[in-house]
């Protein structure tokens, strides 16, 4: 196959990967086609059967070696933003007896709040977030 066919195929496959929903399959076939195109263009590989063999080997080996790490890097560390509010201060919107629930405001949002302390939490009082359970803040007096 002509070297620029390989380059064109590689660019088409890489472009198709950008439009596909993140599986990172076509990317490695595109890279393999670009590599074979570069080798064919420089005159290192001339036989068609050898070009197809190199294309297959490069694509499969790179897919097996690099797809997993690439997926992990693209997904990154997914932290839950709710976990970052532990230790912050919320303002009570209701009187909340010990062990009972009410409403509290934190970061401009109204939350369900449970009194985790031994004393009464009064409306307008500031309380520290002890832990988060689902969408409920467990509060202790400051």
pLDDT in tens, 44-92: 999 999 999 999 999 999 999 999 998 888 876 555 555 688 899 999 9
Output the pLDDT for position 97.
93
* Share of residues in the chain with pLDDT > 70 (%): 94
Distance of alpha carbon 124 from alpha carbon 129, whole angstroms = 15
pLDDT for 2 equals 92
pTM for the predicted model, two decimal places:
0.55
Structural contact between residues 37 and 6, judged by C-beta atoms closer than 8 angstroms:
yes
- Residue 80's pLDDT is what? 56
| 14-29 confidence digits (pLDDT tens) | 999 988 876 889 999 9
For the chain, what are the domain ranges? 3-75, 81-141
Q: Say what the pLDDT of residue 74 is.
A: 80
Q: What is the structure's pLDDT at 102?
A: 94
Residue recorded with tokens 């690099």: 66
Lookup: tokens for 41: 């263009």
Instruction: Look up residue 131 and give its two tokens.
Output: 């832990």
126-133 mean pLDDT? 92
pLDDT category at 40 given cuts 50, 70, 90 is: very high
**Buried residues in 89-128 as b, exposed as e (16+ CB within 10 A):** ebebeeebeeeeebebebeeeebebbbbbeeebeeebebb
CATH of 81-141, one of 1.10.630.10, 1.10.10.1110, 3.40.50.300, 2.40.50.140: 2.40.50.140
Average pLDDT over all residues of the chain: 90
66 backbone dihedrals φ, ψ, rounded to 5° = -110, -15
Exposed e or buried b for every residue in 52-65, given b needs 16+ CB within 10 A? eebbeebbeebbee
């Amino acid at each position: 196959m002509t070297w620029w066919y390989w380059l064109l195929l590689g660019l088409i496959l890489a472009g198709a990967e950008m439009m596909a929903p993140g599986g990172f399959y076509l990317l490695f076939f595109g890279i393999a086609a670009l590599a074979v195109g570069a080798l064919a263009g420089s005159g290192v590989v001339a036989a068609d059967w050898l070009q197809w063999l190199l294309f297959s080997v490069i694509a499969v080996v790179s897919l097996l070696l690099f797809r997993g790490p690439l997926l992990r890097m693209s997904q990154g560390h997914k932290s839950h933003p709710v976990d970052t509010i532990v230790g912050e201060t919320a303002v009570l919107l209701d009187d909340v007896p010990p062990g009972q629930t009410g409403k509290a405001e934190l970061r401009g949002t109204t939350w369900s709040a449970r009194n985790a302390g031994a004393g009464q939490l009064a409306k307008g009082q500031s309380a520290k977030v002890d832990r988060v359970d689902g969408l409920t803040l467990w509060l202790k007096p400051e």
